Structure 1
């Protein structure tokens, strides 16, 4: 997402006139040519990351006029977008190389046999309407109508395309080998603060009166509940999800052994259902996080740093790492629409540490499965709930000096006086929920 707005992508099937399909394929071939030429120029023969060209102006100056002459009929904006797409990939390759990963030159096949592809269209190369889109091609523009469901209520199309609050931005035409889709990017201005943040800063006793901050900690798990928040929100059933995953794998294995064309087609259809099912699960978990944050009037939601969580669950299936990333991404997108910030912290010791900051005992003996009982102060909580509380406290330790609202590393009980997260009230760093007048275990 850009710094100046919030983006959402709506996938819309297109009705492309039969006699214009060849024009779109021809356009893709010339766009791919531009991309490959740009890739060859930017990559060269690098001996170190710095040798890779990742500046648009450099590539555009060297290639634009040549590509205009070599791709007759291709609109200038499509050439420029082709170069920009390559520059983006080169920047990623350079960063990955510097991080120690093995990288290779990005390639851009033209899919002359009508394989899948995508073309980036900005507002100069495409005109976006609420019921159709007009796309530039190597000949003349082609107008494609949207294929819409009969019932629009509650669909992303209604929420974003038909809303006056959102407008079209640079989008993609996608061909999946059989049909065309518009991945329409809708954008709107970013909310700077949620409404209640201003109210809290003006004296709400349930918040940090100096900074207006309310934190919600989120713990992600491979078993039990997939998501547990510091307001005692328990979302998703990871055990059922794992069982469903195993059932899918069992059926897939049987189809692969069968080896017939029918089994092959069924395999791919089932894989699509599986992806949609787990994607919907990730959305449900993300919605649970957002609901908790909105009800608790939070300004920040804090997750575990996924680069570190991958090490912690390295023995778990790769699927879990994918799921955690998807949940966090979806939640961050949804929170942004509410003006709520998403952040991450190092999750080290959040499962073993007592979330009563008057105590903060940290030992493996505190946790047995899903039960947390502090051997020092006796605090008894659901273990994942305790971890979620600690994640919120960890953000506090890493980001705020308790006396002046400035960055500082401490989370000691003597200095941790501001309220951090909520459950039927506000959780203070001392581990007490204030609004109900009682400690919640």
Structure 2
């Protein structure tokens, strides 16, 4: 039997003193600066207007200038920043090929990528390169034998990591791998929670029938902020400008907290139903797919997915994203699956073939989970033994229902 490499992400909170905290934040700021410098150079690219995407060419064009501008940021971190910028530029180049007009990449996320030259792992702590030498950061691990604790056993090999700064704390997202001769765990006997995200009504609806958050309320708060912001801009005084900045900060903090709570509830729903995976739709081309999806709503969807992913990883739950085609138009009943645009009318879903009626978002959430199972099944990854989580039990790809035992 062929050897399979399993790859997971262990999310670990770090305990650092004030000096280390300051150095890590300075390192993140320099990393973002480095990535932006590379992106700016590659975006301006050539006289013909082409975006430079080659990592080798970007390295030759920017390395010396970036190191000088970032006060000799660690060489491995400079290279990691270049790679992040190159990936973003490559995505923009692909969009241009498709006739789209992407914006230049902007790097605002408080994170930095560490390869194995820039980070060293020990039993209870790691050392990380910073703008001023290395610092030690102790792991804050749970007592229970659950991820990430299980990923710190000798069975798992630690690879690269991404450092994130969130809510005043630092977290390492460590890639861990191990080899096995069994089928991949992510498809064998897995249970999937499907999640449908919405621009109105409930912000998130799950295949287990949980209706989470309020998109209308979120949008209302956004409109209120925009109205106040417009009033301050018209006033034009320094006091109004300061008030506008304060309003923006308060709204940003409020919306981030709201989306954090939504993602936390999604993870709790997955835990309550013993799910190994959470499935979302890919957000690619969402503006084309959902005509009334604003940039703010796109940002909110992306944030929910990001927050859910790192929260779920702490419990060993993986987040997958599937192609969105037909999840809203297809009947989710396993004996039907009839697909037609007229099946859905707003929040109501009534199948034109079998006459079954569902809440439209609940129907879509079930289809999202089922589609991931079907992808596993087609790829031979054991999807037939996996299940999608429902209100009162689970359903496998062959339509066999297993009720929840009390």
Please, what TM-score do these two structures have when normalized by structure 1? Answer: 0.64
Q: 2:193 matched to which residue of 1?
A: 216
| 1:87 CA drift (Å) | 4.2
Bigger CA drift: 302-311 or 215-224? 302-311
Cα distance change, pair 220–182 in 1 and its aligned pair in 2 (3 A): closer
Q: 1:205 matched to which residue of 2?
A: none
SS in 1 for 2:84: helix
- Tell me if the contact between 1:169 and 1:185 (Cα under 8 Å) persists in the aligned partners: no
- Tell me if the contact between 1:126 and 1:135 (Cα under 8 Å) persists in the aligned partners: no
Find the aligned partners of 2:298 and 2:35 in 1 and give their Cα distance: 36
Find the aligned partners of 2:366 and 2:70 in 1 and give their Cα distance: 60
Q: Is residue 7 of structure 2 the alignment partner of residue 6 of structure 1? A: no
Aligned residues: 373
Alignment of structure 1 residues 250-261 onto 2, 5 Å: 250-261=227-238
- Tell me if the contact between 2:393 and 2:402 (Cα under 8 Å) persists in the aligned partners: yes
| 1:326 CA drift (Å) | 0.7
SS in 2 for 1:270: helix
Unaligned runs of 5+ in 2: 1-6, 143-147, 153-157
| 1:119 CA drift (Å) | 11
Find the aligned partners of 1:121 and 1:352 in 2 and give their Cα distance: 40
The equivalent position to 1:426 in structure 2, one of 388, 394, 404, is 394
User: Which structure carries more strand by proportion?
Assistant: 2
Deviations along 1:355-391, one digit per CA (max 9) or x if unpaired, are 1121122223322321222232222221110111111
Find the aligned partners of 1:234 and 1:119 in 2 and give their Cα distance: 32
Deviations along 1:248-281, one digit per CA (max 9) or x if unpaired, are 1111111111111111111111101111111111
| 1:79 CA drift (Å) | 4.6
Bigger CA drift: 92-101 or 31-40? 31-40
- Tell me if the contact between 2:12 and 2:141 (Cα under 8 Å) persists in the aligned partners: no
Q: 1:347 matched to which residue of 2?
A: 324
Cα distance change, pair 365–341 in 1 and its aligned pair in 2 (3 A): same
Alignment of structure 1 residues 158-237 onto 2, 5 Å: 184-188=170-174, 190=176, 211-237=188-214
Find the aligned partners of 1:341 and 1:378 in 2 and give their Cα distance: 35
Q: Is residue 85 of structure 2 the alignment partner of residue 85 of structure 1? A: no
The equivalent position to 1:359 in structure 2, one of 332, 336, 344, is 336
Find the aligned partners of 1:373 and 1:249 in 2 and give their Cα distance: 37
Unaligned runs of 5+ in 1: 109-115, 144-156, 174-180, 193-197, 202-207, 408-415
Q: 2:240 matched to which residue of 1?
A: 263
The equivalent position to 1:393 in structure 2, one of 370, 378, 397, is 370
Deviations along 1:88-111, one digit per CA (max 9) or x if unpaired, are 313422342133266899899xxx
| 1:429 CA drift (Å) | 5.0
Find the aligned partners of 1:417 and 1:120 in 2 and give their Cα distance: 38
Q: 2:4 matched to which residue of 1?
A: none
SS in 2 for 1:400: helix
- Tell me if the contact between 2:266 and 2:308 (Cα under 8 Å) persists in the aligned partners: yes
Find the aligned partners of 1:309 and 1:236 in 2 and give their Cα distance: 20
| 1:321 CA drift (Å) | 0.8
- Tell me if the contact between 1:427 and 1:434 (Cα under 8 Å) persists in the aligned partners: yes
Deviations along 1:10-67, one digit per CA (max 9) or x if unpaired, are 8999679xxx9xxx89x97xx97999699869987475969654039x948x987x78
Q: Is residue 90 of structure 2 the alignment partner of residue 94 of structure 1? A: yes
Find the aligned partners of 2:70 and 2:92 in 1 and give their Cα distance: 36
Please, what TM-score do these two structures have when normalized by structure 2? Answer: 0.69
